[in-house]
Amino acid sequence: MKKDVAKYIYILLIGDVEKLVNIREVEENLRREFGFPKKILNSKIDPEDFYDPERRQYHSTKILKEMLDDVPPDALRMIGIIPVDLFIPILTFVFGEAQLGGTVGIVSLARLRQEFYNLPPNQTLLERRLIKEIKHELGHTFGLVHCPLRECVMSVANTILDVDAKGSSFCESCKDLLLRNQKKPVGLKP
């Protein structure tokens, strides 16, 4: 009789993430929302390989592609957390990026931190923002698109004020789709 492989949501720490956030608090919040067990990994990815000197930012899509090489066989999904500022070529910046219906996503701490806006640090606010953005990007990996409801964590956020204004949970419609899609297999290309 063939034994099923356990499925985990991996939290991939890229760089000095643990100096900036309480990763255990983030992990516990994700466990409550998604129900899947979590594992934390330290990444060997060097963000400097994806630095664009003209933009002074890091190319998130290229990092996602690199992350695909490190997805453990028992991973249901893998979400990276990185302290540097991310971009995709068509946008000024991104808080995060994910494969729609895929395996990996990434969230940047850079613009979630109060210090980015020349304000005093606020650890509680940083973790609240990070959890919202991780849920948002994981939602994309489960096939969810942007939601028009501001109270839904899947609503689009173009500014930090948008991140703060949106809800921290999935609306009923997004939650239903999330539950249905959690049972579907995933692709591996961004």
Q: Which residues are catalytic?
A: 137
Backbone angles phi, psi at 101, to 5 degrees: 70, 20
Cβ atoms of 38 and 11 within 8 Å: the answer is yes
Q: How far is CA 44 from CA 15, 48, 169, in A?
A: 9, 12, 31
150 vs 166: CA distance, rounded Å:
5
Question: Token pair 């500022």 is at which residue?
Answer: 85
155 vs 41: CA distance, rounded Å:
28
172 vs 139: CA distance, rounded Å:
13
19 vs 15: CA distance, rounded Å:
9
Tokens of residue 3, six digits? 């034994």
